[in-house]
Each structure stands twice: as structure tokens, then as C-alpha cells.
């Protein structure tokens, strides 16, 4: 282990309180962070109460860890708790945004042509359930992607602009708010900031994907707590040949690095929601979420 690594402890507890008993439930959950070249999962303990009758794990098409479980006895409350230790290594020590490829070159290479080489990253160039592509996104993006501008330089400039032009305001959007709606309102939460910026990048032909995860909420001495640090967080990646996926956090106007824990990636939020499934009964419900991410 190198001294430049940062070790973070992540605890995430989600509780659903139901107004009437749930008779039967089938759930899919994403709770275990990814193992990446810059992120090593040292341990991950997952607890579910009540204890599931059946439980299974698999990787989805994006490589995320998906937990399937079923509850077949009546219950008025469901609690999921995860405690994870991850080791993070610096990611951007060799990144020089001004010497990355021109954005038009990358966009042209990603364009589909019969018989041409297939780039798997092109999957993230198209519209997805929460992210449509329109001329408004393209016009907004092109103010950052001027002719022949290096891709990373343009993407970072776009991040600065989204951060400056949009207001972080909880409660004005929901989990399924389309990127276009958040773009029109110029406000939302981290999910909206990420999906708006993804829409802008895709609108000019660049591959961009959604990233869910966590943000350290015990900042180093002298630094303020980041926006969105007390709950699940979201940012995005843009693909840059020669550098891979570059992670950008427009909510906090920074590259995602030693304060960000990567949980899952997908086309947009709909691919990486923490918990989804089908329940029988339950009536109305309330959700309580507690997240802590601290250095150890």
C-alpha cells in the first residue's frame, strides 16, 4: 500500500417505514462499490432486516454489483445497512487537459459507420430514459466546445459553467425528473447537475455516463464540507481516448478523486438506483437515509 492512498469508511443505512404491512417483496439493490484501478474495496458488509428468505448476487450489463433478495413474511419496516472500507489512489496526476485530443476528433470516431471499428463507449452517446438530446443542450455545450478545443479542457469548462449557472436546491426535482426539465429550471440536486451535463456532452457526440457514489463528509482541516456529502452523491464521466473515463463533479466544480467513492455507473440514474423492485401491500411509506463517509 502506498502512502498516497486514502482509506475511507462508508456507512449507508436506508429505512423504509410502511403504513400497512408488506406481504411479499422482491428487490434489486446496488450497495457494494466497484473495484476500479483507482479504488480497491477492502471489505463490504451488507445487512438487511428483516432477513431475506432468498438472496443472490450478480453483475449487471454495466459491471455493477447487484444484490437480489426476497422477503416473503409480512413486515412494516425494511432496513438496509452497508459498511464498506475502500482505498483510493490519486487519479489525475498525469492529466493535462490542454493536450487531450480535439473534441471533434473524438466525436467523429464515436459516430456509427457500417463496417467501421466498434467503440463500446458509443453506448453512452445516445439518449436514455432520463436524458433526451435536444438542440438546447447542444447550443449550451458548444459555448465550451469551440472548434479544435481539447476534449478535457472543454469538458472542465462546461463543468464550471453548469456549476455557476445552476442552483443546488433540494425538493424541486424527483428521482425521475428528466434532464430537460432540470435544464429549463436551472436548478436541482447532484443527480440533476450530472444528468444535465451528460445531456450536453452527448448532444455534441461525446460519450458520457452517470456515476453514483458517495462523497467524503469529514473534510480535511481548513476545507468546507462538499455539497451533497450527507447523502448518496452523483457525478459523471466523459470518455477521452488516452485517458479513459474522466470523472467530473459539477455540483462541487471539481474532478472526482480522493473524496469520491464510486458505487455504480450507467446511462443515467434509472440504471443505478439504490433499491427497486415489487412489493405487495405497504400502503404509503417514508424513507430515512443516513450516510457517513470518513477517513480512517
Q: What is the pLDDT of residues 37-78, one digit of tens each?
A: 999 999 999 999 999 999 999 999 999 999 999 999 999 999
Distance, in Å, from the CA atom of 250 to the CA atom of 224, rounded to the nearest integer, reads 16
pLDDT band at 2; cut points 50, 70, 90: very low
| Mean pLDDT in residue range 231-258 | 96
pLDDT band at 1; cut points 50, 70, 90: very low
Shared domain for 33 and 72, answered yes or no, is yes
**102 secondary structure, DSSP code:** B
Residue 182 belongs to some domain of the structure: yes
Q: What pLDDT is attached to residue 95?
A: 96
Cβ(31)–Cβ(80) under 8 Å? yes
Shared domain for 50 and 104, answered yes or no, is no
33 is written with which cell numbers?
Answer: 462499490
**In whole numbers, what is the pLDDT of the chain averaged over residues?**
95
| Mean pLDDT in residue range 268-286 | 94
Shared domain for 108 and 156, answered yes or no, is yes
Shared domain for 266 and 277, answered yes or no, is no
| Mean pLDDT in residue range 115-122 | 90
Residue 226 has pLDDT above 50, yes or no: yes
Q: What is the pLDDT of residues 177-216, one digit of tens each?
A: 999 999 999 999 999 999 999 999 999 999 999 999 999 9
C-beta atoms surrounding 110 within 10 Å = 18
Residue 1 belongs to some domain of the structure: no
Domain that includes residue 286, residue range? 6-89+273-295
Shared domain for 46 and 125, answered yes or no, is no
Shared domain for 70 and 152, answered yes or no, is no
Shared domain for 105 and 227, answered yes or no, is yes
Conformation bin of residue 81: beta by default, left when phi > 0, alpha when psi is -120 to 50: beta
Q: Hey, which residues does 28 pair with through a beta bridge?
A: 68, 276
Pairing of strands 187-188, 167-168: parallel
Go through the chain and tell me how many residues it has. Answer: 296
Residue 3 has pLDDT above 60, yes or no: no
Shared domain for 41 and 109, answered yes or no, is no
Q: What pLDDT is attached to residue 185?
A: 97
Task: Specify the number of domains making up the chain.
Answer: 2
Shared domain for 128 and 186, answered yes or no, is yes
Tell me the whole-structure pTM to 2 decimals. Answer: 0.95
Residue 247 has pLDDT above 80, yes or no: yes
pLDDT band at 258; cut points 50, 70, 90: very high
Shared domain for 111 and 256, answered yes or no, is yes
Contacting residues for 13 by C-beta, under 8 A, at least 6 apart: 79, 80, 81, 82, 289, 290, 291
Amino acid at each position: 500500500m502506498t502512502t498516497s492512498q486514502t482509506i475511507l469508511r462508508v456507512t449507508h443505512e436506508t429505512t423504509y417505514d410502511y403504513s400497512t404491512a408488506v406481504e411479499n417483496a422482491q428487490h434489486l439493490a446496488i450497495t457494494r462499490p466497484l473495484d476500479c484501478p483507482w479504488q480497491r474495496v477492502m471489505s463490504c458488509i451488507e445487512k438487511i432486516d428483516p432477513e431475506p428468505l432468498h438472496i443472490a448476487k450478480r453483475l449487471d450489463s454495466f459491471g455493477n454489483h447487484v444484490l437480489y433478495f426476497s422477503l416473503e413474511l409480512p413486515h412494516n419496516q425494511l432496513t438496509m445497512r452497508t459498511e464498506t472500507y475502500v482505498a483510493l489512489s490519486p487519479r489525475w496526476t498525469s492529466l493535462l487537459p490542454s493536450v487531450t485530443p480535439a473534441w471533434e476528433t473524438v466525436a467523429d470516431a464515436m459516430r456509427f459507420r457500417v463496417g467501421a471499428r466498434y467503440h463500446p463507449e458509443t453506448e453512452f452517446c445516445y439518449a436514455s430514459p432520463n436524458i433526451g438530446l435536444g438542440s438546447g443542450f447542444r447550443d449550451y455545450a458548444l459555448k465550451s466546445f469551440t472548434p479544435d478545443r481539447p476534449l478535457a479542457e472543454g469538458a472542465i469548462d462546461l463543468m464550471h459553467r453548469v456549476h455557476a449557472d445552476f442552483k443546488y436546491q433540494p425538493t424541486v426535482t424527483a428521482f425521475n425528473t428528466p434532464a430537460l426539465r432540470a435544464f429549463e429550471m436551472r436548478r436541482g440536486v447532484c443527480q440533476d447537475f450530472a444528468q444535465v451535463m451528460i445531456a450536453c456532452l452527448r448532444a455534441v457526440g461525446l460519450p458520457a455516463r452517470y456515476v453514483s457514489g458517495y462523497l467524503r463528509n469529514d473534510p480535511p482541516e481548513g476545507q468546507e464540507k462538499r455539497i451533497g456529502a450527507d447523502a448518496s452523491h452523483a457525478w459523471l464521466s466523459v470518455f477521452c481516448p488516452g485517458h479513459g473515463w474522466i470523472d467530473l463533479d459539477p455540483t462541487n466544480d471539481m474532478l472526482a478523486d480522493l473524496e469520491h467513492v464510486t458505487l455504480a455507473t450507467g446511462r443515467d440514474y434509472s440504471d443505478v438506483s439504490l433499491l427497486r423492485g415489487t412489493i405487495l401491500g405497504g400502503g404509503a411509506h417514508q424513507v430515512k437515509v443516513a450516510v457517513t463517509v470518513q477517513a480512517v
